[in-house]
Chain A
Amino acid sequence: MPKPILEIKDLKVYFGGGGFIKKAPLVKAVDGLNLTVYENETFGLVGESGCGKSTTGRAIVKINKITDGHIYYNGVDIDTIKGDQLKQFKQDVQMIFQDPYASLNPRMTVGEIIREPMDIHNIGTKEEREARVRELLEIVGLKPDHIRRYPHEFSGGQRQRIGIARTLALNPKFIVCDEPISALDVSIQAQVINLLEELQKEMGISYLFIAHDLSMVKHISDRIGVMYLGNLVEVGDAELLYRQPMHPYTQALLSSVPIPDPKTARERQRIVLEGELPSPINPPSGCVFRTRCPKVMDRCASEKPAMRKVGDRQVACHLFDE
């Protein structure tokens, strides 16, 4: 039985609602999410923009405040964590960001950027830090003489690798990868994916891999969760979920993925979803997907479907009610 490293229980993250005279509308970015990531596992979280996948990732690293619910890292609630435990948490849990152009401080050299985590946590002597920086650069496939250069001199893929070197400096146990490849060129994406896979094998890191590109997520993930409008609609083994999607949204999403194969692409029947994503300010009652669902029923409007186990899978849809 694998040991869970991260458990999310009924997570809610709302934005807005402030204001002095008039209350700003409440945006329900994440609305009741349950999820478990096990040790040494890659969990893929997919969904379209605005579905709350990035918000979830940011809540895990404490960038976004939790409105309700709990996130447990190794059994400890991260919302109330303090002192040494917090310090350890900050070392163990890291994040890789989407935009390799924005995630590196333009005024710092590559060496300073990679050394910063060790400076913050006071790890090692100056010489040891310097040696570690060189070692990390080598791990991510850059040359040690790049140490004095500035981020803007590097290409997107190189910068993303610098970012990865920085997160590795503290030997993390869990990394939230927030769309780490979507801003990269195709030939570079595979470099980063392979690097992440190698690191997992060597260091036993767990990943939460957030992306909208289903084909890469399927490639790297052990399990996949599909999000729609702040809710998880389906969770299952990556291969199985791709072969036999159960939730109507998963089916539509998978059939929309462009396939790099002209014959399959020509023959394939797409499920084209009608309409647009509803606003998270005022989500539909009952099942959030009902306004676009091709298989909508009466009870979808009145009752929010609960996550239930169907075989090895978890699905939140009334089609699978007993």
Chain B
Amino acid sequence: MEENKNFEITPDLFERLDDSDKNAEKIAYESKTYFQDAWSRFKQNKLALAGLCFLAIMVVCCIVIPMVSPYSYDAQNMAVASQNPTLAHPMGTDRFGRDILVRVMCGGRISLSVGVIAALIALVVGVIYGGISGYVGGKVDMVMMRIVDCMYSIPDTLYVILIVVVFEPSMFSILLGISISSWMGMSRQVRAQVLTLKEQEFSLAAFVLGASPKRILFKHLIINSMGPIIVQFTMLVPAAIFSEATLGYLGIGLSVPQASWGTLANDAKGLVATRPLECMWPILAICLTMLALNFIGDGLGDALDPKKK
């Protein structure tokens, strides 16, 4: 109350305040979009941030290292076969003298792009399928969801193996197989979101204004499901990477000399006892990437869920 003593109350302080000096419609918060807001919350999560950094470094390395390295992924050089890590070959060489670092990074290109592309396909299919099912509702929804249930009842790996075997192992067949086996979860998630959101007053308001179903579905319902969709997407990517690795390990993945992390691990599996390092590199790459992706997914889940605010 120290201030009050020095404060002199004079008559001129009692003049009527002008309206322009009032600030009755003041908004205290600074303007932030949803994603800015989510990003500021995501940043608080140190683990997720670390995951994001690791993933970024991994992606950059996968792109850059094979480009600048003097070795190519399939160039054999028997002179340096089966070497332990050296300065020239930081991860050593395999039994054909190929540089393991380059091979792991090339493998990463394939594994990561398979993961992202398959997850993207699953995302698009799942969002459209689930969106339509939830929005139309009634009998259409019933039938569409029973189809999903049927597809769910067959094990994922079975699809992938069947499709890859039928279409011959290639990038295309692997992508097709993984996407077909992984869009159902996304469609269920989107349907559940759309079902609750379509009863919300803002989508009813759009309906009353005369908006077309397409507009309501995409501009109002799916935009507002973006949070769960993105989280689901970050979970789909590692799952797809895993599926591809499993295929590679089973020996029905991409054919040599092309390599993914799965096929690299498969190649080296006979050497676990004698040269464990060679087997460890691709496995380490898979594990760390999985971990990073899961941290990111977790962090995004928290950041995009407005209820936790």
Using a CB–CB distance below 8 Å, which chain A residues touch chain B? 58, 61-63, 87, 90-91, 93-95, 97-99, 102-108, 116-117, 120-121, 142-143, 146, 148-150, 153-154, 158, 163, 166, 170
Provide the residues of chain A in CB contact with B220, threshold 8 Å.
Answer: 105
Known: A63-B207, A103-B205, A117-B209. 4 other contacts (CB 8 A): A95-B208, A103-B202, A121-B210, A154-B27
Structural contact, A95 and B224, CB atoms closer than 8 A: no
Provide the residues of chain B in CB contact with A116, threshold 8 Å.
Answer: 206, 209, 211
Interface 9-residue window, one of B29-37, B98-106, B119-127:
B29-37
Contact partner, B209, options A120, A142, A150, A158, Cβ 8 Å: A120
Provide the residues of chain A in CB contact with B31, threshold 8 Å.
Answer: 148-150, 153
Alpha-carbon distance between A102 and B199 when the two chains are bound, in angstroms: 10
Alpha-carbon distance between A98 and B32 when the two chains are bound, in angstroms: 26
Provide the residues of chain B in CB contact with A62, threshold 8 Å.
Answer: 207-208
Contact indicator per residue, chain B 161-199, by CB within 8 Å of chain A (1) or not (0): 000000000000000000000000000000000000000
Contact indicator per residue, chain B 211-226, by CB within 8 Å of chain A (1) or not (0): 1100100011001101
Alpha-carbon distance between A21 and B202 when the two chains are bound, in angstroms: 34
Alpha-carbon distance between A211 and B227 when the two chains are bound, in angstroms: 35
Chain B: which residue is nearest A60 at the CB level?
B208
Structural contact, A98 and B33, CB atoms closer than 8 A: no
Alpha-carbon distance between A62 and B206 when the two chains are bound, in angstroms: 12
Chain A: which residue is nearest B212 at the CB level?
A120
Chain A: which residue is nearest B206 at the CB level?
A116
Q: How far is the CB of B118 from chain A (nearest CB, A)?
A: 27
Alpha-carbon distance between A170 and B208 when the two chains are bound, in angstroms: 12
Q: How far is the CB of B105 from chain A (nearest CB, A)?
A: 38
Structural contact, B34 and A150, CB atoms closer than 8 A: yes
Give the interface residue-count category, chain B: 20 to 34
Provide the residues of chain B in CB contact with A154, threshold 8 Å.
Answer: 27
Q: Which residue among A146, A153, A154 has the maximum number of chain B CB atoms within 10 Å of its CB?
A: A153
Q: How far is the CB of B131 from chain A (nearest CB, A)?
A: 16
Provide the residues of chain B in CB contact with A94, threshold 8 Å.
Answer: 208-209
Q: How far is the CB of A123 from chain B (nearest CB, A)?
A: 11
Alpha-carbon distance between A249 and B83 when the two chains are bound, in angstroms: 94
Known: A107-B34, A107-B224, A153-B29. A63 touches B210 (CB 8 A): no
Contact partner, A120, options B29, B34, B215, B306, Cβ 8 Å: B215
Chain A: which residue is nearest B32 at the CB level?
A150
Structural contact, A120 and B211, CB atoms closer than 8 A: yes
Provide the residues of chain A in CB contact with B306, threshold 8 Å.
Answer: 106
Provide the residues of chain B in CB contact with A158, threshold 8 Å.
Answer: 25
Alpha-carbon distance between A116 and B215 when the two chains are bound, in angstroms: 10
Determine if B201 is an interface residue (Cβ-Cβ < 8 Å).
Answer: yes
Structural contact, A90 and B208, CB atoms closer than 8 A: yes
Determine if B204 is an interface residue (Cβ-Cβ < 8 Å).
Answer: yes
Q: How far is the CB of B41 from chain A (nearest CB, A)?
A: 14
Q: How far is the CB of B17 from chain A (nearest CB, A)?
A: 19
Provide the residues of chain B in CB contact with A150, threshold 8 Å.
Answer: 31-34
Alpha-carbon distance between A123 and B220 when the two chains are bound, in angstroms: 20
Chain A: which residue is nearest B220 at the CB level?
A105
Alpha-carbon distance between A142 and B24 when the two chains are bound, in angstroms: 11
Alpha-carbon distance between A94 and B208 when the two chains are bound, in angstroms: 6
Determine if B200 is an interface residue (Cβ-Cβ < 8 Å).
Answer: yes
**Could you pull out 29 A-B pairs where Cβ atoms are within 8 angstroms?**
A58-B204, A61-B208, A94-B209, A95-B204, A95-B208, A98-B201, A102-B202, A103-B202, A103-B205, A104-B205, A105-B202, A105-B203, A105-B219, A105-B220, A105-B224, A106-B202, A106-B306, A107-B34, A116-B209, A116-B211, A120-B209, A120-B211, A120-B215, A149-B27, A149-B31, A150-B31, A153-B27, A154-B27, A166-B209
